Amino acid sequence: MSIKIKTAEEIQKMRVAGKLAADVLEMIAPHVEVGVTTGKLNQIMHDYMTEEQGTIPATLNYHGFPASSCISINQVVCHGIPDDKKQLKNGDIVNIDVTVIKDGYHGDTSRMFEIGSVKPFASRLSKVAHECLWLGINAVKENATLHDVALAIQTHAEQNNYTVVKEYCGHGIGADFHEEPQVLHYASPELKQIVLKAGMVFTIEPMINMGKAGVKVLGDNWTVVTKDRKLSAQWEHTLVVTETGCEIFTLRTDEQPVLP
């Protein structure tokens, strides 16, 4: 069990990879609309990564995952597989999650999109999930623990009568896609032992459910859905711990941070 502290050179490479991952989400935004298929969105992102950016889509063939992005609609919690027959429809809430590899280092980020006119209850779930990500980010600084991060996220979700998914978590990231530590989004006692140090790089990516927390994996062995088929929302950033807080590698120009 060891969490790698990144060198200044590695951090610079991850800054670049993170920015490129954020750029993919900014690039795809105008294409995310009623009637487009998730397969088409994946194709546009794949071509942009490989042809424009010179990045490698990290999810493609990762443990057999068949696409260059995960696209998760409504009750799909995460790991939705892009599909040429799956069209976005009015009122959907959708997560797009992309991970690029540049110069050997990973940048991992996701955001929600609202398709057409979305019901207020769905929009609110997405908004609160975004706040959960940012409350987690705001808890990051040297000598804080991952328990502080998890508690901030869980408290805000539960104050809004939502639940936190337990089976999937954020993760250390660097030369490998998924490194130590596991960044749980709910308070668990062992997280108090994981003390943050400058140079640790990890993701925070809370999955917040409208109904119960339980999830199941569909027969394709990838798609994760809520057991009760109610809505789920997720946002993700990759960041490095600093003495005073953190630096977010995957910030987008279109994002409004939730400040402490």
What does the binding site for ligand MF3 look like in residue numbers (CB under 6 A)? Answer: 59, 62-63, 65, 70, 79, 97, 99, 108, 205, 236
* Residue 6 Cα distances to 112, 137, 236, 260, angstroms: 29, 19, 20, 26
179 binds Co ion per the rule CB under 5 A = no
Q: Does 108 bind Co ion (CB under 5 A)?
A: yes
Minimum distance from residue 239 beta carbon to Co ion (Å): 12
Which one of ligand MF3, Co ion, none is in contact with 63 (Cβ closer than 5 to 8 A by kind)?
Answer: ligand MF3
Q: Which is nearer to ligand MF3, 24 or 118 (CB)?
A: 24
Give whichever of 92 and 108 is closer to ligand MF3, judged by the CB atom. 108
Taking the least distance from each CB to ligand MF3, the nearer of 175 and 198 is 175
- CB nearer to Co ion: give 97 or 179: 97
Q: CA-CA distance, 145 to 29, in Å (whole number)?
A: 34
Q: Which is nearer to ligand MF3, 62 or 158 (CB)?
A: 62
User: Is residue 61 packed enough to be buried (19+ CB in 10 Å), middle (13-18) or exposed (0-12)?
Assistant: exposed
Write each residue from 34 to 73 as x if it is in contact with Co ion (CB under 5 A), else as -, in one continuous string. Answer: ----------------------------------------
Q: List Cα–Cα distances, 78 to 189, 198, 243, in angstroms.
A: 25, 29, 32
Nearer to ligand MF3, 118 or 233 (CB): 233
Do the beta carbons of residue 57 and residue 49 sit within 8 Å?
Answer: yes
Find the shortest distance in angstroms from Cβ 106 to Co ion: 9
Work out whether the CA dihedral 20, 26, 31, 34 comes out positive or negative: positive
Report in angstroms how near the CB of residue 64 gets to ligand MF3 at its nearest: 8
Distance of closest approach, residue 91 Cβ to ligand MF3, in angstroms: 25
Strand, helix or coil at 71?
strand
CB of 108 to Co ion, least distance (A): 4
User: In whole angstroms, how far apart are CA 210 and each of 97, 103, 126, 158?
Assistant: 20, 39, 10, 10
Least distance CB 221 / ligand MF3 (angstroms):
10
How far is it, in rounded angstroms, from Cα 162 to Cα 128?
9
Could you give the count of Cα atoms lying within 13 Å of 242 in the half-sphere of its Cβ?
11
SS3 247: strand
10's contact among Co ion, ligand MF3, none, with CB below 5 to 8 A by partner kind, is none
Among 10, 92, 97, 131, binds Co ion (CB under 5 A): 97
Q: Other CB atoms closer than 10 Å to residue 178's CB: what's the count?
A: 18
Question: Which residues bind to Co ion, rule: CB under 5 A?
Answer: 97, 108, 203, 236
